[in-house]
């Protein structure tokens, strides 16, 4: 059994390395966000903050644009997630009905878009042509249905017992009634998973907003952060502490990253198992 022991030791070492390497960048930005400028420039900040300094947090949090963009992210995420979940649920439910004529075509219409897409330029021309530029709709409509999510949800609906719905139909419930009163109450797990998938995706998205929104007051916080990292704007549009501005400019990035990531890191431990079970559902049955 010594071979087994050697393997266990090696395995433990490898997995520990994975954990360390994965967590390190997080700890590093938190440390940088709390450190003073001189320590960062000297390259001395690694795991723990050095020269503890909260000036930058105060500075970023006093920036009106940052909060406007943060609020935009919340609004876009909520609206887009609602639209996505409604459309995805409806279509997944239809696709799960094997007796339905034309079902194969309906599946094909969705699946084909996984392998072929119009591409960046036609999409750009389309969204501009529809007059969606500089409106919330440019962010929330073009990616309303994610086909992978759709298929996971379809697999879940297919796994529900048919008898239940048949009984409900016999009892006089129509399709809408069955979906709302029978199917959805049984599907809380998958609906929760889908809500989380969509919400995280919209919270994190930046490119659609970057492409279709020109006004800074419409940006989500990811675009704010992108402009900051690309050096395209002064982070501190309202920064009045001029001598301090230059001094703290470098760890503004770290602070903004921490503030943007906090909501996800806060909910992550609670929602993580739903994500996992959601993907597993699709994997084992799909």
Partner 1 sequence: MVTLTKAPPTAPAAPPKRARRRLSQDWQLYSLAVLPLLFFAVFRYAPMVGNVIAFRRFRPGGSMFGDDWVGLRYVRMFLADPTFWQVFTNTLIIGALTLIVCFPLPIVLALLLNEVRIKRLKGFVQSVSYLPHFLSVVIVAGMVGQLLSVDGTVNALAGTEIPFLQRPEWFRTIYVSSEVWQTVGWGTILYLAALTTLDEELYDAAKIDGAGRLRQTWHVTLPGIRPTMITLLILNIGTFMAVGFEKILLLYNPLTYPTADVIPTYLYRLGVVSGNFSYGAAIGLFEALIGLILVFSANTISRRTVGTSLW
Tell me which residues in 190-229 interact with partner 1 (CB under 8 A): 200, 203-207, 211, 222, 225-226, 229
Dihedral, CA of residue 23, residue 24, residue 25 and residue 27, to nearest 10: 90
Q: Which of 21, 215, 243, 270 binds partner 1 (CB under 8 A)?
A: 21
Tell whether the torsion through CA atoms of 242, 244, 246 and 251 is positive or negative: negative
Q: Distance between CA 108 and CA 99 in Å, rounded?
A: 16
CB contact at 8 A, 41 and 250: yes
Q: Which is nearer to partner 1, 177 or 239 (CB)?
A: 177
Residues 99-158 that bind partner 1 (CB under 8 A): 99-101, 106, 109-111, 113-126, 129, 141-145
What are phi and psi for residue 172, nearest 5 degrees?
100, 10
3 state SS of 284? helix
Considering only the stretches 48-56, 74-82, 160-168, 232-240, report the one whose residues sit in contact with partner 1 under the rule CB under 8 A: 160-168
Return d(Cα 85, Cα 77) in angstroms, integer.
12
- The nearest distance, CB 66 to partner 1, in angstroms, is 14
**Min. distance of Cβ 268 from partner 1 in angstroms?**
6
x/- letters, 44..83, toward partner 1 (CB under 8 A): x-x-------------------------------------
In angstroms, what is the minimal distance from the CB of 194 to partner 1? 14
Q: Does 159 bind partner 1 (CB under 8 A)?
A: no
Torsion angle in degrees (nearest 10) through CA of 120, 199, 184, 107: 20
Binder to partner 1 among 9, 15, 54, 61 (CB under 8 A)? 15
**Spatial separation of the C-alpha atoms in residues 253 and 26, rounded to whole Å:** 13
Shortest distance, position 189 Cβ to partner 1, whole Å: 15
What number of other Cβ atoms are within 10 A of residue 276's Cβ? 11
> Closest separation between CB of residue 141 and partner 1, Å?
7
Quick one: 106 or 240, whose CB is closer to partner 1? 106
Q: Which of 94, 136, 160, 195 binds partner 1 (CB under 8 A)?
A: 94
* C-alpha distances in Å from residue 138, one per residue of 42, 60, 134, 178: 43, 28, 7, 33
């Amino acid at each position: 059994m010594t071979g087994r022991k050697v393997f266990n030791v090696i395995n433990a070492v490898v997995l520990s390395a994975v954990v360390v390497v994965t967590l390190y960048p997080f700890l590093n930005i938190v440390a940088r966000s709390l450190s003073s400028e001189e320590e960062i420039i000297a390259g001395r900040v690694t795991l723990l903050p050095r020269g503890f300094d909260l000036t930058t947090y105060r500075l970023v949090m006093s920036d009106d644009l940052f909060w406007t963009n943060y609020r935009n992210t919340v609004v876009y995420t909520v609206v887009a997630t609602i639209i996505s979940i409604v459309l995805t649920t409806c279509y997944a439910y239809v696709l799960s009905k094997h007796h339905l004529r034309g079902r194969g075509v309906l599946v094909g219409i969705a699946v084909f878009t996984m392998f072929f897409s119009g591409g960046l330029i036609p999409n750009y021309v389309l969204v501009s042509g529809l007059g969606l530029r500089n409106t919330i709709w440019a962010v929330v409509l073009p990616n309303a249905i994610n086909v992978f999510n759709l298929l996971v949800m379809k697999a879940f609906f297919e796994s529900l017992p048919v008898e239940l719905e048949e009984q409900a139909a016999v009892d006089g419930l129509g399709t809408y009634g069955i979906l709302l009163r029978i199917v959805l109450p049984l599907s809380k797990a998958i609906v929760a998973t889908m809500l989380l998938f969509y919400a995280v995706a919209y919270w994190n998205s930046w490119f659609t907003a970057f492409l279709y929104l020109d006004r800074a007051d419409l940006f989500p916080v990811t675009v704010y952060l992108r402009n900051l990292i690309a050096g395209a704007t002064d982070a501190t549009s309202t920064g009045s502490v001029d001598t301090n501005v230059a001094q703290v400019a470098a760890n503004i990035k770290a602070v903004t990253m921490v503030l943007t990531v906090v909501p996800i890191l806060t909910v992550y431990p609670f929602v993580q198992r739903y994500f996992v079970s959601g993907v597993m559902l699709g994997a084992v049955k799909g």
